[in-house]
Structure 1
């Protein structure tokens, strides 16, 4: 135990977060942080929930070679810019729910195409998801856009996602959907469209 504690305290990440080196886990919750702690670039799991982060500088994750899980929920992030996650090629899951996201750049996920499986964007203020936003990450299996302000979606926004299994679109402002929006997504097993404002039946979907 003594050796483990000493190892933990010797890590640069421990200056700002609770870091367990044996598991590469960094818990940075409730630390009043306003930026990503680059001292924790050896972590595979990094939780930054409940902080004061409002902006993430593009390529700030450069050098986070082992990062698989990033939790950025419950901050005040308003936009995710292009190339934000470049430098973290092992990323499997991104959680950005409970923020104030209004803009998610179509190139924000550049550099994550090899591993990214899940992205959680629920309970934000997004009004648009551009075509091409998810095409860089064809291995995605979960997309959560629940409880945003989406009023429409382009027909190609989910194209080429052959591994998509769960899609959450409930509690938005959708009034209609393109007829081919779910074309060729045979892997989809769960689709939530509840509490929207559709003008006609969606039985054909």
Structure 2
């Protein structure tokens, strides 16, 4: 039977008093902690876990139920290599407000209840890899608004329901490799509450046979999507996408090029059109506002099965045209701009299966200019290629840096030779001595300008100079403290000026 509160305090009656050893030890430890300034212990580390500062590891303990006495001050909690099967809402008895990393890999988790992660609202990294998940239900990750990295690879995920990634506003990296997905999770990008800055998506080693090429042409402009080792159908649209990625040197394709199913022998059915030479520079097409403008696809002289155009605002497809649209793609691959606007100016890219890998020196881009050059440059040409922007910015920055260096060299590395009084001849201050020379007129008047020191660079004069007229004497170099000048830019107390009567 547990002791009551009166027993712990040592009171058994009004007059009697009895001490319990356990209670005495507890009171003694509390008193010592208060006297020595140590805070009382909040929670102890479980016997089957390892606690080091704010890191708690209960890995490899064959746990089927989580301990209820886990310290809540942890920032990293490792529960990997256990036997957890379900993650209920109350899997942790208390909120973990400081928890940033949670590792649940190598368990047998097949079900995660909604709001199971609400006890760790500041979680940044969540690892649920190598488990038994088959379906990602809606709102399964609700509450994780600060999560940046989610690892789900090595599960058996077949379906991702709408809203599964709700609340993951800050998610940047998502690993779904090694699952059983047959559909591309396109809702991950456009569903409300989903990730807004997803820059890495790994869908390799799944069961994808088709991918939304038109959407991928737009999504891969901002981040990397890995699709290797999927049974993709090598149709003309996929070949066009892969050829475009190779031309762009898209890293997810270049690194894993040998792990895509499309080989050179699968290009014959899509390479019926004639491929002409493509210039290394983007061609320029001019149009008048309100007029029709046709832009042919570079490298194509015959109709292709499917052509995509990447415009400054969207991606167009030749097989899904709207007759009333402002921009359409004709069957022969030509981009038609109906009622051209000044805002239509910019860089356009034609993506089609040409039957060969285009070299980096070949250009798939065209430059569309609507209106005069000045108007287009103020609007449409703002969408020029990133490489051109980088080169211009880098050149400007380099010019500014060089100009600053030259100014500093002129100000501080120009030698200033000083002379003694007029009759003693020229005596220099040293080939590399730096001296701030005052204006003789300021010395003569005994007044200083209020706008700071004046720096004058005096040309050295030879001892046998025959030039008539008084020479401009400098300060007495023997009384100048160069060290003080270099430190604070002003004269030290021991510096003296030559007599004003010797000044011209």
State the TM-score bracket (shorter-chain normalisation). 0.7 to 0.9
Write the distance in 2 (CA, Å) between the matches of 1:59 and 1:134: 21
> Residue in 2 aligned with 1:84?
116
> Residue in 2 aligned with 1:150?
181
Write the distance in 1 (CA, Å) between the matches of 2:128 and 2:217: 24
> Residue in 2 aligned with 1:66?
98
Matched, 1:174 2:205: no
Q: SS at the partner of 2:45?
A: helix
> Residue in 2 aligned with 1:15?
47
Matched, 1:106 2:138: yes
> Residue in 2 aligned with 1:133?
164
Q: Which runs of 5+ in 2 are unaligned?
A: 1-38, 246-504
Q: CA RMSD, aligned part only?
A: 2.4
Query: Residues 129-160 of structure 1, C-alpha deviation per residue, up to 9 Å, x if partnerless?
Result: 12222231111011000000000135322235
Assess if the C-alpha contact under 8 Å between 1:11 and 1:19 holds in 2: no
Query: Which one is further off, 73-82 or 118-127?
Result: 73-82
Q: SS at the partner of 2:174?
A: strand
Q: State the aligned residue count.
A: 194
Question: Any residues of structure 2 matched to 1:159-198 within 5 Å, and which?
Answer: 159=190, 160-178=194-212, 179-180=214-215, 183=218, 187-188=222-223, 190-198=224-232
Write the distance in 2 (CA, Å) between the matches of 1:186 and 1:136: 24
**Structure 2 length as normaliser, TM-score?**
0.36
Assess if the C-alpha contact under 8 Å between 1:147 and 1:171 holds in 2: yes
Question: Any residues of structure 2 matched to 1:32-47 within 5 Å, and which?
Answer: 32-40=62-70, 41-47=72-78
Say which structure is richer in helix.
Answer: 2
Write the distance in 1 (CA, Å) between the matches of 2:46 and 2:90: 22
Larger Rg: 2
Write the distance in 2 (CA, Å) between the matches of 1:54 and 1:86: 19
How has the CA–CA distance of structure 1 residues 59 and 163 changed in structure 2, closer, same or farther, with 3 Å as cutoff? farther
Deviation (angstroms), 1:43: 1.2
Moved over 6 A (4+): none
> Residue in 2 aligned with 1:3?
none
Query: Residues 141-197 of structure 1, C-alpha deviation per residue, up to 9 Å, x if partnerless?
Result: 110000000001353222353321211000000111234367567541x22101111
Query: Which one is further off, 168-177 or 60-69?
Result: 60-69
Deviation (angstroms), 1:44: 1.0
Deviation (angstroms), 1:36: 3.0
Higher relative contact order structure (alpha carbons within 8 Å, sequence separation ≥ 6): 1
Q: SS at the partner of 2:201?
A: strand
Assess if the C-alpha contact under 8 Å between 1:170 and 1:194 holds in 2: yes
Assess if the C-alpha contact under 8 Å between 2:148 and 2:171 holds in 1: yes
Write the distance in 2 (CA, Å) between the matches of 1:27 and 1:184: 38
Deviation (angstroms), 1:11: 3.9
